[in-house]
Structure 1
Amino acid sequence: MKRLALLLVVFTVTLNAQNKKELDQNAIKSMCGCYEVSFNFAETFQYSNDSTYIPSKTKHDKGLEWVQLVEDHTNKISMQHLLIVGKPDSPHIVKHWRQDWEYENTNLYTYDHDNKWRFLSLPKAEVIGQWTQKVFQVDDSPRYEGTSSWVHVDGKSYWENTTSAPLPRREYTKRSDYNVTVRTNRQEITPQGWIHDQDNDKVIREDGKDDVVLAQEKGLNTYIKVEDSRCKAAQDYWKENQEKWALVRAKWNEVFARNKDLVLAEKVENKLLYKYLFAKEGFETSEAINPLIESFVK
């Protein structure tokens, strides 16, 4: 009788875990589709002792974005964001960020500072039931990663994590007084789509010293789902270019599989990686792509 009761408990726990994982998968994949997006950022608090400190300007921007499902496996889901800009009759597609989700993943690249990522291997017991969100730059190089559990409670589904990241694109061309963003990211599914809620610390990080928080900011990106047909230009772009970007991801996956700290050059021959890869010609094959990416790996 005791053995039967134990088996019943094990079966119930396993079933609940499977149902929870399915809820997680559905929440993640529900972020795919066509969205009207609002991007909003405001610096909230400043801690600089410099009386000449100038806070970042409040940012309000809007766009149309297609989130393309790239991979859909039991333990990995990958989604590519594509921005649609310009006039409706002649749209331009910008390959935006990518988010990969890996279930009970133990290997992470955590951002240190100044284009350095530390390889971190976690015990399996620490990631049970969790999903790692891996965020990549427009050229599929690493940005930030963090592992946490999806939460489904009181009609809400959300995932929240705090991790270090490079400066966002809106800042790194304008600010040099800090070098790390410590991001608290919350992605929550809503009836209209989803939101990316952020509470960020702007941090000065130096080897052998404690982090110094220069300022804090609030970010709120709202994704409102619209008809997929409005994002046809992005869908067409992906059909035409997905093979090229699959080659780029494959090379980066080979680099990540080395499982060691990663240092990347900002430029090679005074040119950023995405400038090479976004060129219409010259980097369509692995023979061209692989050595290019390798040249940025120190």
Structure 2
Amino acid sequence: MSIKYAAKLGTALFSLALLTSPALAHPPIPDRPADVEKSAFEADRADILAMAGNFKVRFDMQESTPWAADYEPRERKISGGHEVVKIVEDSGTKIVLQHLLVVDMGEKDFIVKHWRQDWEYQPEKILAYSDRNRWEYQPISEKRRNGRWSQTVYQVDDSPRYAGLGEWETQGGVRRWRSSWTWRPLARRDAVRNPVYDRYYAINRHSPMPNGWIHFQDNTKMGMVDGKLVPIVQEYVLNTYTKFDGYNVQAAEDYWTKTKDYWAEVRKTWDAAFASNNGVTVEEEAETGTVISAELLEMGTKIAEDEMDAAAATKKARALITKATKPGAVQSAQNGVRSSNY
């Protein structure tokens, strides 16, 4: 089966995907007694909060099954690093975790403000990836959100990446949260290669383990062929976070102390853009994610190194986000592959 012929196979899959929103991915959770509900809620919170800490991270990525006969899966790629995961907010039903990547540069460690994950209990809506450069709010019915948590993942500049709805459960003695089917833009590792696929249709799983936690991704890489969205190849990604303090954790702590107020204002500005447009449209590029990502990150670094005033950086960040998210700001939503950094 050629990639062109795969269009016929993919049409049915894509049509089903469009009809199956994240809210409809799982049947409703039956009503539970109040004490059981409270116990489940507290167990869920404990598992989410346990994702915070200092970790050694291993990223294991493997393209496996080609869905088009003339596609050759890429070789397995393994990489790693060190991350500090901070609890930015915990209001009971909402938990915000910020990842900070510590990069050993020899004489000095460099901090990359990495991805962010927001967990919300029984959300009324989620900010889901809609199409290239576009994220939209999707309502979640009361029946579907009952007992479930959403996970919304944001890119390094706090622009959105993807969102899913799922239930924390125990199966075979293993605790896990399994997302609904979720659309995602390409990660930078793929986008910079200009591949034949341009987005992922995926299920994400998170599980605590005795010395950390794992994030497993089951990614169907999708691409446009003859005007139709079709599956190209399957990919499995296992990200393992193992508790570890043997690196310069203090560098991440210092960075966050100096920049957390700046990034709080960045988040507020993005939130305002989401609220005013029922989501957001913002142009992306393969190398950096959003077209304003590099500048927003650079200002954070300058604040951390006492090279820029936080108030001035905040003012400029607000202007950048406002301009980039105005209706009509995206030059061509279908012109080339767009991506994110994670």
The number of residue pairs the alignment matches comes to: 283
CA separation of 1:205 and 1:17: change in aligned 2, threshold 3 A: farther
Contact 2:64 2:73 survives alignment (8 Å): no
TM-score (structure 2 length as normaliser):
0.77
Amino acid at match of 1:150: W
> Is 1:275 the equivalent of 2:294?
yes
Which is bigger in relative contact order (C-alpha 8 A, separation at least 6)?
2
Aligned match of 2:51: 31
Structure 1's unaligned 5+ residue stretches are 1-11
Q: Name whichever of 221-230 and 121-130 sits farther off.
A: 221-230
Per-residue CA distance 1:141-160 (angstroms, 9 max, x = gap): 00000111111355422101
> Is 1:134 the equivalent of 2:152?
yes
Aligned match of 1:9: none
Q: Matches of 2:199 and 2:315 in 1, distance apart?
A: 34
CA separation of 1:215 and 1:242: change in aligned 2, threshold 3 A: same
Q: Matches of 2:66 and 2:225 in 1, distance apart?
A: 20
Question: Structure 2 residue aligned with 1:196, among 215, 224, 237?
Answer: 215
Structure 2's unaligned 5+ residue stretches are 1-31, 303-307, 328-342
What root-mean-square deviation, in Å, do the aligned CA atoms of Structure 1 and Structure 2 show? 2.4
Q: Matches of 2:246 and 2:256 in 1, distance apart?
A: 14
Report the identity percentage.
36
CA separation of 1:236 and 1:88: change in aligned 2, threshold 3 A: farther
Per-residue CA distance 1:213-253 (angstroms, 9 max, x = gap): 01111111111102387522111111111011001001111
Secondary structure of the residue aligned to 2:295 is helix
Contact 1:119 1:260 survives alignment (8 Å): yes
Contact 2:273 2:279 survives alignment (8 Å): no
Q: Matches of 1:206 and 1:115 in 2, distance apart?
A: 19
> Is 1:70 the equivalent of 2:98?
no
Contact 1:266 1:296 survives alignment (8 Å): no
1:1-298 equivalences under 5 Å are 13-50=33-70, 53-87=71-105, 90-161=108-179, 162-205=181-224, 209=228, 211-227=229-245, 230-258=248-276, 260-266=278-284, 272-279=291-298, 280=302, 281=308, 284-297=312-325, 298=327
Amino acid at match of 1:141: S
Q: Name whichever of 84-93 and 270-279 sits farther off.
A: 270-279
Q: Matches of 2:59 and 2:94 in 1, distance apart?
A: 27
Aligned match of 2:8: none
Q: Matches of 2:247 and 2:127 in 1, distance apart?
A: 37
